[in-house]
Amino acid sequence: TFGLLGTAYVSKENFVSAEGAFRNALLLQPATPEWKLGLARCIFRQNKFAEAVSLMNDLIERQPDKPEFWLLLASAHLGLKEPVAAATCYEMIDRLGKSTPDTLTSLADIYLQESNYPLAVETYVKALDLKPGQKIDRPLRAAEVLNGRGARRQQC
């Protein structure tokens, strides 16, 4: 089928051809979420973030419990320079109980950029607690930024 052809093109990193194959697959099998997800990933890899957001919103509407959908949506929002929308996606991943140190650190980075220092610190700590022994370079950089911005201890 076209969906399998799209998957083959993705494995060869030929995202334009994969996009065409997934679009054809969706014409023949519109109810197959794998083809829409494949299309969304191809679109994302081509930096067509607005279209990726639209596709992911449709997938999430049908299956809101899939953390990988929320993660791709967050990445697309970041590509569109919409960090607050991306933060909402990362928060949803956390509510689903599927956070990783990377997703939490990305969320904390957004809080830091938005000057929400208490939430940033809380989220960095949560990320560190999730996997003891992990690299701490990002949280350390964040601490330097907090210090440099003069975030008072009471704020954190």
Q: For residue 88, is it within any domain?
A: no
- Assess if residue 122 is contained within a domain: yes
Nearest one of 125, 112, 117, 107 to 153, comparing CA atoms: 117
Q: Is the residue at 144 inside a domain?
A: yes
Tell me the per-residue pLDDT of 62-119, one tens digit each, with 9 for 90 and over.
Answer: 999 999 999 999 999 999 999 999 999 999 999 999 999 999 999 999 999 999 999 9
pLDDT of residue 150: 64
Residue 116 maps to a domain: yes
Q: How many Å apart are CA 3 and CA 22, to the nearest integer?
A: 5
Q: Which structural domain range is residue 154 located in?
A: 99-156
Does 25 map to a domain? no
Q: Which of 133, 135, 137 is nearest to 109 (CA)?
A: 137
Task: State the residue for tokens 């650190």.
Answer: 105
Any domain includes 14: no
Number of separate domains in the chain: 1
How many CB atoms are closer than 10 A to CB 147?
9
